[in-house]
Structure 1
Amino acid sequence: MKREEQGSFKITNDTMYHLSGFLLMISGAIYMIVQLIHPDGQLENAGTRMWFTVALLSMVMSLFIFIGLVGIYVRQVKESGVLGLLGILLTGLFWLLSMTFAFIEAFVLPLIASSSPEFVSGMMGLFDATPDETNLGVFPFIVGIAGFLYVFGGFAFGFATARARVFPKAPAMTFAFAALFTVFASFVPYPVNRIFAVPMAFALCWLGWAQVFMKPEQKKN
């Protein structure tokens, strides 16, 4: 029985923390890649392999970020307090919405591109912040709410993480200001505005690295 216990694989808290950290690092790399290869929001791109690939990568990335940030929060739940809870709720909701929109991009828009070209074109323009007069129902409102969740949720979570002193302040504050920095993206034309995602991609990798490689006693100093 002792041999079996020694040889058995146990899922510990450290295992889950390390997993969430690795997922954050992977998501940061995907975030960077997506900015480089994302096709333009033109109707003819809706059914292309590149469009599907980018949308699928965005789904995976959003899921990984959600899991990774929850892992960060769980490790500092007491120290981050109410602000940390507010931050994870807002930013977590954003990444769940992001995953939903990526699903629509990958599996819905290509199917209706021929039957509803105006709607699909409007949705693709919505994702790329391109003005369109097509009636898209509640989607523009959801995108507006998502922008609020991304900026203020990300800033609150990053600031709470820095204040908690469980993780190093530098990656936490980088995450906070990377979220706040995206406010200026609305003043820059597409696709140049995609450069505003670079700091967040870097911050995700840095937070993931801290989650995996920083020892607990180092984090508490």
Structure 2
Amino acid sequence: MTITPRALTRAAGVAAAVAGLLFLGVQVNHPHMDVTSVTTTDWVVRNTLKMLMAALALTGITGMYLHQVTKMGVLGLLGYVLFGAGYIVMLGIEFVAAYVLPALAERAPGYVNDVLAVAFHGTAIGDIGLMGTAVLVSGIGYLAGGFIFGIALFRANILTRWAAALLTVGTLATIAIPLLPQINERLFAIPTGVALIGLGYSLWRQQRTPVARPATSVA
């Protein structure tokens, strides 16, 4: 099996599309965030899938950036670094959510509830250590990084522009979640999920047809 840049780029496109599908899928019938939910199998499965989603999304945006690095400029680099950092920290948070919080649910329910409160735009009563910082960094990376990266993708005009625009709007829209408590916050995941699917498909499709070699003349 020969590994080529084209094959890696196609794989990155598939990764981004699958990440988008997972991002949408884990929102369906999402349980209420409390200490009781943390002890269920559904909680472990969902957060494991969120870990996978974060890893695939990071792979996907890396492929997008490298595919058009000369067109993305400084804005694209900044967006990629922020967005990538957001997904890396998110991966760690979801690991803690899936495999650490369930073990603490009975012994330290107050800590678990505080972590969940901060993760979902609330306020902790007690001290949750660096988890608060991690949630903040992940949120800033996702929001600011996705917004800037989406603009850079749109300006580069290599991948489908509607998906780049949707990524820009979708990530920025999450800033309104605390301001609109009457709206199900799970709905805010739809634009970003669809955007990742569209961008991933666009990246994959561009690699389907090999670049034609220039004809050589025979003397």
Identity of aligned residues (%): 28
What's the CA shift string for 1:24-74, capped at 9, x where partnerless?
111111111111132211111111100001110000000000000000000
- Are 1:11 and 2:3 an aligned pair? yes
| Partner Cα distance (1:211, 1:170) in 2 | 13
| Partner Cα distance (2:80, 2:38) in 1 | 32
- Are 1:91 and 2:80 an aligned pair? no
| Partner Cα distance (2:10, 2:208) in 1 | 12
What is the identity, as a one-letter code, of the residue corresponding to 2:33? Answer: G
Match of 1:38 in 2: 30
TM-score between the two structures when normalised by the length of structure 2: 0.90
| Partner Cα distance (2:72, 2:89) in 1 | 24
Question: Do the aligned partners of residues 67 and 97 (structure 1) sit closer, same or farther apart at CA in structure 2, a change above 3 Å counting?
Answer: same
Higher helix share: 1
Q: Is the 8 A contact 1:25 1:204 kept in 2?
A: yes
What is the identity, as a one-letter code, of the residue corresponding to 1:185? Answer: I
Unaligned runs of 5+ in 1: 1-8
Q: How far does residue 146 in structure 1 lie from its aligned partner after superposition? A: 2.3
Match of 2:94 in 1: 102
Match of 1:47 in 2: 39
- Are 1:164 and 2:156 an aligned pair? yes
Q: How far does residue 108 in structure 1 lie from its aligned partner after superposition? A: 0.4
Q: Is the 8 A contact 1:41 1:127 kept in 2?
A: no
Q: Is the 8 A contact 1:126 1:132 kept in 2?
A: yes
Question: Do the aligned partners of residues 216 and 174 (structure 1) sit closer, same or farther apart at CA in structure 2, a change above 3 Å counting?
Answer: farther
Choose 106-115 or 88-97, whichever is displaced more.
106-115
| Partner Cα distance (2:145, 2:85) in 1 | 9
What is the identity, as a one-letter code, of the residue corresponding to 1:149? Answer: G
| Partner Cα distance (1:168, 1:61) in 2 | 21
| Partner Cα distance (1:134, 1:37) in 2 | 29
SS at match of 2:26: helix
SS at match of 1:134: coil
Q: 2:195 aligns with which of 193, 196, 203?
A: 203
TM-score between the two structures when normalised by the length of structure 1: 0.89
Match of 1:138 in 2: 130
Question: Do the aligned partners of residues 216 and 164 (structure 1) sit closer, same or farther apart at CA in structure 2, a change above 3 Å counting?
Answer: farther
Unaligned runs of 5+ in 2: 210-219
| Partner Cα distance (1:131, 1:44) in 2 | 19
Match of 2:175 in 1: 183
| Partner Cα distance (2:54, 2:182) in 1 | 21
Aligned-pair Cα RMSD in Å: 1.7
Match of 2:53 in 1: 61
Choose 64-73 or 142-151, whichever is displaced more.
142-151
Q: 2:66 aligns with which of 60, 68, 74?
A: 74
| Partner Cα distance (1:108, 1:191) in 2 | 30
